[in-house]
Structure 1
């Protein structure tokens, strides 16, 4: 392969881009000592960063161990070829490079583009007048929320601002909308953090409130003038009709006169999509039965009427434009004021939002020479790798160009030029809302808009190494056929020519298309859920684990719906919703404790606290009603928890106390651990008060989540955007009926004549269908956005359908028009059209299968349910444990025996089935609760119980157990049996004791029995297990 300093790799889904990048990186790194320090590799996510680093280090490690060339990795052989060296030399270079990287890891520069930009910002912090230790804010909503609140607080003190806001509220009331303008200001404020709007906002940066009020006045004056003009034209035309002796009924359906009457009255509620309006120029204006003289008159007047019609239509759309622009004026008027408040909030808190990085860098370095930038960075890169280039924003790319250009277009001391490797796929560009532009990649790949003097060499990675044959075959055919629905030739060609992936050696696989039918008897969402459940069960029947399945959804709402449904069907799932901290009942209990400590009159919070503390559903109501007004007393008497102490402590110490007193983290609990990390972080920034934390929590609770465990046997539910770059053996894609033209309150900037519109060159409007009629320029802008919307929708579908390795299940719906035609603006329409073109669509058929799913015989795909345990360590608990033997601790053998018995009792409380024995001892060892020389003895004693000929049946896998759970009697009394085994409505009771038999123990079991039977259970067995030197038991 001929080397080019500027290479572009067009990498479709699964085509081995990470392998390609690794190979290119290693070729440079292995070409000379210290070369890796001259490389900067940029990608999109931290996951991609870690994967690339792992690949490079793992490859170097493998290369350094190659002895037999016959067993060398294929990449090793490729690099021998390209570097023109023998195996021993490459092995030694690999050893040296690996050692260099590990000893100079800070120079192993593979990072996300945001991380690199952050470094640039830090470098230029003084020039940008930023605090040296500024905090990077990822969630701009928090800053914006406070900025808008501050702005509204100033209403009443700033006269001009007050008038603007008050007028806006009144206008909203007149339009039967909520007077609350905070929502509108918040939405317009989001433009400040959107790179797409940055260039346009720069043009109005120097405009003040008076300028916008002037523009508003011009718009209002023009609207009033236009309305009068349109009414006058319509009235004059109606008068002409009358003078010509024509009646309203002489016109077809009286349409044109009624049209004129509406305009004459200033009523502009007119639908220009109706048939007679569309055909006005060519169709006759009269009824067929009209007299000949009427027909002749109307034929004579038709050209004049058509000119009137065109003038009224033009005026109608100009009015629509003016109203659209007028509706955005007030939010725009205060946008600069919002920005000032945003700056004030950030300055006070030493913050900088990540969305401002690129704009700040662009302003500072756009005119700086590249060597100066390098000098400031303290490094000099010669080789650049940019992964996921289709997701790189225009401004990010503009900021990189001077650095990359310097490397490409200049020579080093050895007379060598630098290099650039761009990898991307315009079909996977799904981050336009974050500034990503597929067109940027397409233009570069087609040698258009190249900012460098070095021409690029574009290479296609032709083979899909991810998916099995049937999946690749389906996607090749489907997206080639679907490209016909794209109206942009550039985008159409992308799928026609760029979607012909070659096959790998993986044969077979399956793609199944299912269509649910709309039915009044069953809710559509429920039908989707049932179809997903059916598919999961079919897959599991083929011996695939839950962990091999991923369900992809378009939005969070569908994911929550599915997770809830599958949970009720006892299907284990992991989703973004289930990983949220607020999904943990323990975390919610802790936040409710804080809320109650802040306001002990809040009965809703009191109810939530009691609901958590009441573990028995049957008597929960009685427990809550009897304690609702006495929560403070209850917490003190039953749990030794004093709310007064909580209020005096810092939030962190208060939560530590609560975790300890309510025993919230006896075993591993990632939610509690991460929650405490959040508490600590907030205390560092906001202070130690409960109110400050609750304010933060209420704003962020829908975003704070733990990381998903990698090897857990549960169905994953994730959005398509989150799944980008990932792969799964089995993919299920339900709710596959997205509207391709669905708009999310999008905005367009329309050019204006500055002389007419108070010096404004552009105005912001809501993107609506009517925009295409505003002007030729507006129409071009509108259709450009339409084409981008089409591409984005198809790209999202492409990403969803290319995640599968072995099986792809698409669940759509038979969504047809009234005449039975499919709808091409919906995903379902694309699927139906594809099946019709293949000649296999049948109106009564709901399932189409391509290929088959074989029975899984691979052990590598089976995942474990075991999660490595860790203990939550309280701050006031030492990080080490001093262990003592029973003989040293106790004075008598009897006391030692009791101590051992209690300890074994404690361990058995951690065990539900025999599978939990090892986990329990791992936890004890980790926490220093057991000495090494005591492990085997304790384990043998526990196994005597678990494997006992008569007791073992109660510890088998799959049994339903409750260990040490409270039972609340009708009178509110609490009791806690050691172990309850459930088998339908039958239960078995087990209590652990030390020492000798005692009648009181039996009485205790009978008390438990009465409580359980009053709850509707039948107690089948009652047993007392005595834990002494030998384990014995007696039935009661």
Structure 2
């Protein structure tokens, strides 16, 4: 048992210090402490021999940061918070920028991240320059570079934007990571697996015909999803510390187990409604008043069972250790903690700065935070052994040319030609049309639904009224021309947002057809273009969308 110093600290600072001490103890044991139940097979312990068991994941990031500071390899088993990981946030910023080059915040995140490593001072100097956006201000700045021999950030970003027309977004992300050398910053197995998971998500969205705007919309909706699991990492034979919850560790065993934060209090509580079994029958009871619940026999029995469940959880944590169990705690007199169970079990008491306990307990020892620091500082540092590698032989391989996947949903840069507002309005109009055609939205609710979508995108006030007016005028115009009744309204033998995959020689085209209606023995195919078109632009647009029309035909 490692007892932390009882200094006046915030709860966050206590966790940071506890994580630091835990990391020091791991480094003090690796290569120095021997593991193995059979004497002749004992060997110096490795990182893979250790596991950190948490009662809950609230402070997981603090433990991860401490392990990184000490260069301790680790993997969070069944960890959550995928969309909040730094590498995912960086690639999300890349996708946001590619979908809207006027998105200054996403570009700022991108520039500061591992792809470019532009310092804060340089970015602040850029902000002071003339231009409508940060990207525009970068265009005339020739001072900043990514690194020796690499192009300016502006040149790379411009290249990526130009590649959007003929390169799938998933491939472009990998290309961006490669040409900036950002992969080397994500050498940890978990981080690399997270990046690959995000790329797979983007691939799946593209394969289902989602445009860049809709991929961005998907990521915006999942940004706050904190329960998304991190990517699975194959930990077999990986020399890394495992971090997991006590619940996830059931059925597993490790030579050395750490259980930090055993002074954390668990709250025993019940809802105002209770379903319980008594004498072979099930009962339901509802007591909204908390003071009455605290005196009710059935609710008290339920709380006692909850306390027993926490004891069983502590037992699970303790019995995961094959050879050594190391617990970390601050002194506390609170009940309903793992420390409270331990104090009662082996009579731990504190007098001043001195701890006493049942001396007859074989194998138990109590260390202070300072003891761990001393052991860490005096532990021999294990030098990595040089291995002789066999000579490498190169065998040329031939591969069949893979078909190039290309989305045909967006071939014209709406933002570049018509501005960000029309790109957003176009996406909303598509959603409204889809809802009407599927019968999900009724005509009377169009403005209400539109207002909600605009609000979700941060549009408010007069700007919101203006955009609502634009969409209302568009719907009215379609009705006057008879297009609304003929095409948009629900119809038999019709399809909306119909996904397709079409292979033609060396290319595979993917996308979604906005509307397909079967009329007798032929099909009518409609593709909505929701941006202003001048009469003299018709010829240009027909040429621009020729490939898309050919594929539909």
The SS at the match of 2:8 is coil
Aligned partner of 1:786 in structure 2 is: 303
2:250 is the counterpart of 1:724: yes
Q: Which runs of 5+ in 2 are unaligned?
A: 34-43, 128-132, 140-151, 277-282, 366-382, 400-553
| CA distance 1:696–1:726, change in 2 (3 Å) | farther
Aligned partners of 2:170 and 2:200 also within 8 Å: no
Q: Write the distance in 2 (CA, Å) between the matches of 1:788 and 1:769.
A: 20
| CA distance 1:657–1:811, change in 2 (3 Å) | closer
Aligned partner of 1:828 in structure 2 is: 339
Match 2:194 to one of 657, 671, 679: 671
2:101 is the counterpart of 1:600: yes
Q: Write the distance in 2 (CA, Å) between the matches of 1:651 and 1:606.
A: 17
2:293 is the counterpart of 1:771: yes
Q: Write the distance in 1 (CA, Å) between the matches of 2:113 and 2:126.
A: 13
Aligned partners of 2:3 and 2:330 also within 8 Å: yes
Match 2:159 to one of 615, 627, 641: 641
Aligned partner of 1:518 in structure 2 is: 6
Aligned partner of 1:810 in structure 2 is: 327
Aligned partner of 1:181 in structure 2 is: none
Aligned partner of 2:231 in structure 1 is: 706
Q: TM-score, length-normalised on structure 2? A: 0.50
The SS at the match of 1:851 is coil
| CA distance 1:672–1:550, change in 2 (3 Å) | same
Q: Write the distance in 2 (CA, Å) between the matches of 1:852 and 1:614.
A: 49
Q: CA deviation at 1:809?
A: 1.2
Structure with higher RCO (Cα < 8 A, 6+ apart): 2
1:733-748 matched pairs, under 5 angstroms:
733-743=259-269, 746-748=271-273
Aligned partner of 2:405 in structure 1 is: none
Aligned partners of 2:104 and 2:134 also within 8 Å: no
Aligned partners of 1:767 and 1:782 also within 8 Å: no
1:535-684 matched pairs, under 5 angstroms:
535-540=25-30, 541-542=32-33, 543-576=44-77, 581-582=82-83, 586-612=87-113, 620-627=119-126, 629-631=133-135, 633=139, 635=153, 637-638=155-156, 641-643=159-161, 645-646=163-164, 651-652=169-170, 654-655=172-173, 658-659=176-177, 661-662=179-180, 669-684=192-207
Q: Write the distance in 2 (CA, Å) between the matches of 1:662 and 1:534.
A: 34
Q: CA deviation at 1:606?
A: 1.4
Aligned partners of 2:263 and 2:337 also within 8 Å: yes
Q: CA RMSD in A?
A: 4.3
Aligned partner of 2:362 in structure 1 is: 850
Aligned partners of 1:748 and 1:767 also within 8 Å: no
Aligned partners of 1:729 and 1:805 also within 8 Å: yes
Q: CA deviation at 1:550?
A: 0.8
1:353-372 matched pairs, under 5 angstroms:
none
Q: CA deviation at 1:747?
A: 4.6
Aligned partners of 1:597 and 1:647 also within 8 Å: no
Question: Number of matched residues?
Answer: 332
Aligned partners of 2:349 and 2:356 also within 8 Å: no
Q: Which has the larger radius of gyration?
A: 1
Q: CA deviation at 1:554?
A: 1.1
Aligned partners of 2:268 and 2:307 also within 8 Å: no
Q: CA deviation at 1:736?
A: 0.5
Aligned partners of 1:514 and 1:847 also within 8 Å: no
Aligned partner of 1:217 in structure 2 is: none
1:271-282 matched pairs, under 5 angstroms:
none
Q: Write the distance in 1 (CA, Å) between the matches of 2:208 and 2:226.
A: 17
Q: CA deviation at 1:789?
A: 0.9
Q: Write the distance in 2 (CA, Å) between the matches of 1:846 and 1:925.
A: 66
The SS at the match of 2:159 is coil
Q: Write the distance in 2 (CA, Å) between the matches of 1:530 and 1:801.
A: 22
Q: CA deviation at 1:721?
A: 1.4
1:123-142 matched pairs, under 5 angstroms:
none
Q: CA deviation at 1:798?
A: 1.2
Aligned partners of 2:205 and 2:215 also within 8 Å: no
| CA distance 1:671–1:533, change in 2 (3 Å) | closer
Q: Write the distance in 2 (CA, Å) between the matches of 1:927 and 1:746.
A: 65
Q: CA deviation at 1:710?
A: 2.2
